[in-house]
Structure 1
Amino acid sequence: MVPAMCGRRCHDHMVHPLSGAAGVYAGCCGPAEYSAYAVFVCGCCGGRAGGHRHRHHQQEPDGASPRRRRARPCYCRNALFRHVCRGNSGMYAVEFGEHMAWSLPTIALSLLLGIAFGTLSLQCLLRSTNRHREFLATVLFVAAIAGLHFIGVSAMRTHMMSAELMATGNAPVVLGVALAITTLLLVATGGNSFSIDDATRAESYERMRQMALHDALTSLPNRVSFNDHLDQVIEDAKEKGTQFALIGIDLNKFKEINDVRGHAAGDVVLVTIASRFTEMLGEGEFVARLGGDEFAAVHLTSDPDELKAFVARIEEAINLPIPIEDYEVTTGGSVGLALFPKDATDKETLVTRADLAMYRAKADPLRTVAYYEPAMDETVREARALAADLKTAMEKGELSLHYQVQTAIATGEVFGYEALLRWTSPERGDVPPARFIPVAEENGLIIPLGEWVLQTACAQAAKWEVPFKLAVNLSPVQFFHPDLYRLVKETLEKTGLAPARLELELTETSIIDDKQRALEIVRRIKELGVSIALDDFGTGYSSIDTLRSFPFDRIKLDGSFMQGIETNSDAAAIVRSVLALGRTMNIAVLAEGIETPRQLEVLRGEGCVAGQGFLIGRPACAETLGLQPA
């Protein structure tokens, strides 16, 4: 029971504006019985508690004339409104005796804007890669709140209405619509959040899957993905009776590029080649990076012509020059193929035999592609065993140096010796350099091997009684190694050998791939006072431009030109031309491979300055040659 004051002497009703429920007066100006609803309407005047201000009928106390009685306001909005508003929320808290109406299209618009801007805010925060994404998400979220609130407020309309109109029952409809809209908003927001969360989970899962199955640097499938793919291909081939080729790919000069140019340049090479592989792939073709500079490919066809075309595309991808900053590098590569089911019917054997074919191509300077052959198994096993034995020989001191004399052809005077590496194995006997040097290059042993040769030869030559010139060969890998300059400089300082006594011999293949870099290395070494000789001239890619560009001190004519020089006029003409070229360019020429007196006589007659060969002297250790310490 709450007192509600009314000045009418009648038993009217207080009508609730939403439900239509009424409380009945117990007596004039007495307490009104009513149900505990939010707002009541005065039945005598139509005014609602908390509604508009109005003047009521005059109150007539007992025994008083109506003309003497003062008019006073209805108290409906005083005690009753203050009590009811404490229990209200939202827009209904601002009702002051007016009827509220809602524009449903405007409400729908506010909801749509709120959901739209809220969704954009979450999308911007979760998916955008823009560095300002947090600021943009905040702006969109504020727009969502502002749109929902202010447009929602504009949907409210207020109208004056009487108690009779309020009693018609339209107020419950408004409440129902409000509840429905609120429920719709909650459901839509929850559904949108669930959708975004589900999409985010799917995106995260896909990102993790991408990281697990793809190489981080090149984005190519990695070894795990390759194994899964190969398992599936083998299973399908067995079921359908089809054939396919497994192709192993190894970059020939990747380690050299890493050593000389740095790992950043190596990464550029890998990314560029991987991009080329991706662009060239067609239907039924697959390429993965297994690690380092090794790749593997699968080609699903039994057509030999299609397979050859695919291999040709691989060769093109690895042989094209790769620009790195202001220079270009070329890696080249070796490709080995094994066929299913011809060469193997299980994954492990197939992979092994593709590797064997690849290593055969790598060991053969005349070809870059090799198909698996049964004889390769034994050849590769022997090469691997030889590499292991060579490493052991370096550790146990089984290597030694022999020296071959170099003389002036006109007088026979000795002016120098070339240091030659020898390996005498307790199990294998004397292993020729032509056999173990390529193995050392393929297995990363050539750098420590070359350092040992240079340091040992300089140390021995520094002790000779006669200061003969010392010639030492450099492999292509050793020549481009970034520590070569430091090695030569420190070796000369440590051993005490005069720089003018040392001559470093380069092969033509050492300089042809990167002439600019090779020229820089040659110039730096010559600054130390060391001589540079071009070895095996005439067997590679040398040109007059190369001789003109590089400051060579000597040309060493390859021994193959000595064959038939006595009787073959063409061979003699070639030797004569090289000697004339040397005189013209002021570069001394040394002829290698002199084995007969007639060859020596022809060279002397053509004006050759220096010679070296079995006729002049066979390689031997320093003690045998009488190169005694001073």
Structure 2
Amino acid sequence: MNVLGCIVYKHNLWLVIVAVLICGGGSWVTARLVRRVFATRGLQRAGWQFLASVTAAVAIWCTHFVAMLGFEPGVPVSFDPVLTIVSLLIALGGSFAAFAVAGSGFTRAAPAIGGALVGLAISLMHYTGMMAYRVQGVVSWNHTYLVASIVLSVVFGALALDRAARGVNVRADIGADKGMDKSARPAAKDTGSVASVTLLLVLAIATLHFTGMCAFTVTPLRIAGEFSNPAALQALALSVAGMAFIIAGAGLVSYLLDDTVRAESVEHLRTMALSDMLTGLPNRASFNDRLDVEIARAAAEHGKLALVGIDLNRFKEINDLRGHHAGDEVLRILARRFTSLVREGEFVARVGGDEFVALHRYSHRDALDDFLGRLEDALFRPIRYDDWEVVSGASLGVAIYPDDASSKAVLINNADLAMYRAKAALTRTVCFYEPKMDETARARRTLAADLRDAIARGQLSVHYQVQTAVSGAICGYEALLRWEHPRQGFISPGVFIPLAEENGLILSIGAWVLREACTRAVTWQPPYKVAVNLSPVQFAHADLPALVSEVLAETGLAPDRLELELTESTIFADRERSLDVLQRIKALGVSLALDDFGTGYSSLDTLRTFPFDKIKLDQSFISEAESSRQATAIIRAVLALGKSLGIPVLAEGIETQDQFDLLAGEGCDEMQGFLLGRPAPLAQLVESGQIKLVQPRSRYAAAG
């Protein structure tokens, strides 16, 4: 009789169906759990091994037990309780051992070996259970079926776990190729893999049981008065089946809960990766992804896409005056405004400290103008925070795809160029990209390269402008950097100094100017002071006290003959560090001058806290003094402040005799400007007799 015949003629069909459902359902849950075993490590793997082992044992043992209860030998039956429990323990222990081996990774064949152990555990459980099966009759075995059942179970078990491991490896490989985190990797053909593993596990269990039952034959030896109770056996079978489904269901629920938590975690991580943590807006990575999508869509639909670069105008001032917490709050308020204004086809992201970008898909220019208007309203509407109100303002640069660029990189570059033009223009908030902006950018890049060559070839020079007392006596000279370009002629410091700061050249230039000025000044007779300007970049990134000490030691210049000038904005970025740096410079004996006073923050606290020896009144007030009562009032106030604090005031930009007379009448201490002397090379000053040169003493004598 073949296997199908054994099933049909020796079993209760309904209980066979229940056994098949247990086998199928338990195998399906086991297949999903065992894949999780191969996908995890450490304690997580141990937990999934436990759940997979319990579920597999339930599927194996309950399938066997329910099918046995459905087996109809035609004689009374009973079960040996000890051997029945032993068969359950074999199913549990065998499953634990099998999954531990399969997940050990000690060899590439470990999953197949573990699967073979599953097949052996099924076989040992089944035939132990058959020993617990008591019938009134003579039992005989067909060894061919018996051996075939064991071989089939071992083969299908090995194939099942090997397939499960390979499915997980394919999934991991695909994720690795894409550079993805394991938890976020997609399941490659996940459904097909689970289905195939389930089928193989079902075959491992079912072929063992039903082929083994075909090997089992009973010749009845009925004893009068002893009968089985079919109803009780069926009730027991259904009870076992119910518990099997409950346990397998618990395993499935654990899997699904973990899957849900993992999916939520992945989504949370994805949100974190694509969102700005401070404002909640999309970040640079999200912007890049969205820009790719929008460019592709605009190309497919023959539409237009506007990229808007946004840079806040007063953000540094807010941070300096109110602290970084206030700056963060301004960014959060603006982010909420942006979120509320965006509509379909619009997008705003934060891509840097105070930099934002916006995208707008449109077909009519009116729609773009409306979008830009809404952005301006959000940026220029006053922001209230605690007890103060501020208008951040911003510069907006717009580039259009495909009109201004045919690729993503060029579009971003052109929007940046337009935004920088907007920042430079005092009367324009929004600038659209124009081709000539590329020419300007190329010119700046060329000039930066020329500046780098000028440093290497020694084309920079230092000129000196006299500083005098009201009496006309010379107090010192300010060292001013000059660049005579070989083709373009004189380049204004207002042009090349910012260029040097942008391109990282200012540190070497600043150190050279300081060393050059001190080297020349040590030869002057009379021994006038020399004043050297400090760049904010130089102040922030160089160890100035060490540099000044080194230069003084190398040149032999007396420390009291050196004066360093810096603006108030230079020290606001980090007041504690700035105070420490200035105190260390003062300890060397070097003087400090506060430059451009009146144009920045002009904080009285700055004069009280920082050890300045001189205040330099900005020339903008001097030029307006004759026509503006307010400018005159400010000049008087600064001069009075200097006298009350015991700090001398030097007025810059004296160009007319009237300006000189006004400052002298108001009690100004020192002056500087074209009226008193233009910046000139040292040789010219020597030729005019203002300065005489002497052989410098040795640096050791000078230092002494």
Please tell me the TM-score bracket, short chain as reference. Answer: 0.5 to 0.7
Please name the residue that 2:602 is paired with: 542
Conserved? CA contact 1:221–1:288, under 8 Å: yes
My pick for the range that moved more, 353-362 or 400-409, is 353-362
Conserved? CA contact 1:512–1:541, under 8 Å: no
1:377 aligns with 2:438: yes
Q: Distance in 2 between matches of 1:202 and 1:432?
A: 60
Amino acid at match of 1:452: W
Please name the residue that 2:490 is paired with: 430
1:397 aligns with 2:455: no
1:419 aligns with 2:479: yes
Cα deviations by residue, 1:228-266 (Å, 9 ceiling, x for unpaired): 3123334555677876642224578999999x9xxxx99
Change (3 A) 1:610 1:193: closer
Change (3 A) 1:334 1:342: farther
Q: How far apart are residue 182 of structure 1 and its match?
A: 6.1
2:414 to 318, 331, 353: 353
Higher Cα Rg, which structure: 1
Please name the residue that 2:529 is paired with: 469
Q: How far apart are residue 593 of structure 1 and its match?
A: 2.0
My pick for the range that moved more, 279-288 or 184-193, is 184-193
Cα deviations by residue, 1:507-561 (Å, 9 ceiling, x for unpaired): 2433466666645544443233222212223333325554445443222223334
Q: How far apart are residue 277 of structure 1 and its match?
A: 6.3
Instruction: Please identify which structure carries the higher helix content.
Output: 2
1:595 aligns with 2:679: no
Please give the residue correspondences for 1:336-351 in structure 2 after superposition, counting only pairs within 5 Å: 336-338=396-398, 340=400, 344=404, 346-348=406-408, 349-351=410-412
Q: Distance in 2 between matches of 1:19 and 1:614?
A: 117
Q: How far apart are residue 577 of structure 1 and its match?
A: 4.6
Q: How far apart are residue 469 of structure 1 and its match?
A: 0.7
Q: How far apart are residue 401 of structure 1 and its match?
A: 0.9
Q: Distance in 1 between matches of 2:508 and 2:601?
A: 28
Conserved? CA contact 2:397–2:422, under 8 Å: no
1:229 to 290, 299, 317: 290
Q: Distance in 2 between matches of 1:360 and 1:609?
A: 41
Please name the residue that 2:668 is paired with: 608
Please name the residue that 2:618 is paired with: 558
My pick for the range that moved more, 298-307 or 589-598, is 298-307
Q: Distance in 1 between matches of 2:431 and 2:285?
A: 25
Q: Distance in 2 between matches of 1:241 and 1:543?
A: 56
Please name the residue that 1:307 is paired with: 372
Amino acid at match of 2:372: L
Please state whether the residue corresponding to 1:614 is helix, strand or coil. Answer: coil
Q: How far apart are residue 186 of structure 1 and its match?
A: 6.8
Cα deviations by residue, 1:32-58 (Å, 9 ceiling, x for unpaired): xxx9x6569xxxxxxxxxxxxxxxxxx
Amino acid at match of 1:310: L
Q: Distance in 2 between matches of 1:585 and 1:361?
A: 41
Change (3 A) 1:444 1:188: same
1:177 aligns with 2:238: yes
Change (3 A) 1:543 1:239: same
Amino acid at match of 1:499: P
Q: How far apart are residue 438 of structure 1 and its match?
A: 2.1
Q: CA RMSD in A?
A: 5.0
Please name the residue that 1:140 is paired with: none
Percent of matched pairs sharing the same residue: 47
Amino acid at match of 2:452: K
Please name the residue that 2:34 is paired with: none
Q: Distance in 1 between matches of 2:131 and 2:501?
A: 85
Q: Distance in 2 between matches of 1:228 and 1:571?
A: 53
Change (3 A) 1:465 1:530: same
Q: How far apart are residue 472 of structure 1 and its match?
A: 1.0
Conserved? CA contact 1:17–1:166, under 8 Å: no
Q: Distance in 2 between matches of 1:602 and 1:18?
A: 118
Amino acid at match of 1:466: P
Q: How far apart are residue 373 of structure 1 and its match?
A: 4.6
Q: How far apart are residue 470 of structure 1 and its match?
A: 1.2
Cα deviations by residue, 1:303-350 (Å, 9 ceiling, x for unpaired): 645534434545789x9999xxxxxxx9x8964321546963645443
Q: Distance in 2 between matches of 1:461 and 1:202?
A: 71
Change (3 A) 1:515 1:181: closer
Amino acid at match of 1:462: V
Conserved? CA contact 2:397–2:420, under 8 Å: no
Please state whether the residue corresponding to 2:495 is helix, strand or coil. Answer: helix
Q: How far apart are residue 418 of structure 1 and its match?
A: 0.3
Q: Distance in 2 between matches of 1:218 and 1:90?
A: 69
Please name the residue that 2:517 is paired with: 457
1:586 to 639, 642, 646: 646
Change (3 A) 1:183 1:589: closer
1:484 aligns with 2:544: yes
Please name the residue that 1:62 is paired with: none
Amino acid at match of 2:570: S
Change (3 A) 1:253 1:461: farther
Conserved? CA contact 1:245–1:299, under 8 Å: yes
Q: Distance in 1 between matches of 2:621 and 2:360?
A: 45
Q: How far apart are residue 356 of structure 1 and its match?
A: 0.5
Q: How far apart are residue 569 of structure 1 and its match?
A: 7.1
Change (3 A) 1:508 1:199: closer
Q: Distance in 2 between matches of 1:247 and 1:521?
A: 40
Conserved? CA contact 2:415–2:433, under 8 Å: no
My pick for the range that moved more, 225-234 or 287-296, is 287-296
My pick for the range that moved more, 492-501 or 209-218, is 209-218
Q: Distance in 1 between matches of 2:396 and 2:406?
A: 17
Please state whether the residue corresponding to 1:533 is helix, strand or coil. Answer: strand
Please name the residue that 1:525 is paired with: 585
Q: How far apart are residue 471 of structure 1 and its match?
A: 0.7
Cα deviations by residue, 1:595-630 (Å, 9 ceiling, x for unpaired): 334443444344332222222222122232225243
Please name the residue that 1:502 is paired with: 562
* TM-score (structure 2 length as normaliser): 0.56
Amino acid at match of 2:478: E
Please state whether the residue corresponding to 1:467 is helix, strand or coil. Answer: coil
Amino acid at match of 1:382: A
Q: Distance in 2 between matches of 1:445 and 1:560?
A: 29
1:296 to 343, 353, 357: 357
User: What 5-or-longer segments of structure 2 have no aligned partner?
Assistant: 1-67, 81-124, 136-181, 184-222, 696-704
Conserved? CA contact 2:280–2:335, under 8 Å: no
Please state whether the residue corresponding to 2:397 is helix, strand or coil. Answer: strand
Q: Distance in 1 between matches of 2:461 and 2:454?
A: 10
Change (3 A) 1:549 1:321: farther
Q: Distance in 2 between matches of 1:487 and 1:163?
A: 114
Q: Distance in 2 between matches of 1:311 and 1:453?
A: 43
Change (3 A) 1:167 1:607: closer
Change (3 A) 1:316 1:212: same
Change (3 A) 1:500 1:94: farther
Q: How far apart are residue 588 of structure 1 and its match?
A: 1.2
Amino acid at match of 1:593: G
Change (3 A) 1:17 1:488: closer
What count of residue pairs does the alignment treat as equivalent? 478
Q: Distance in 1 between matches of 2:305 and 2:569?
A: 36
Please state whether the residue corresponding to 2:358 is helix, strand or coil. Answer: strand
Please state whether the residue corresponding to 2:601 is helix, strand or coil. Answer: coil
2:447 to 386, 399, 411: 386
Please state whether the residue corresponding to 1:563 is helix, strand or coil. Answer: helix
Conserved? CA contact 1:288–1:296, under 8 Å: yes
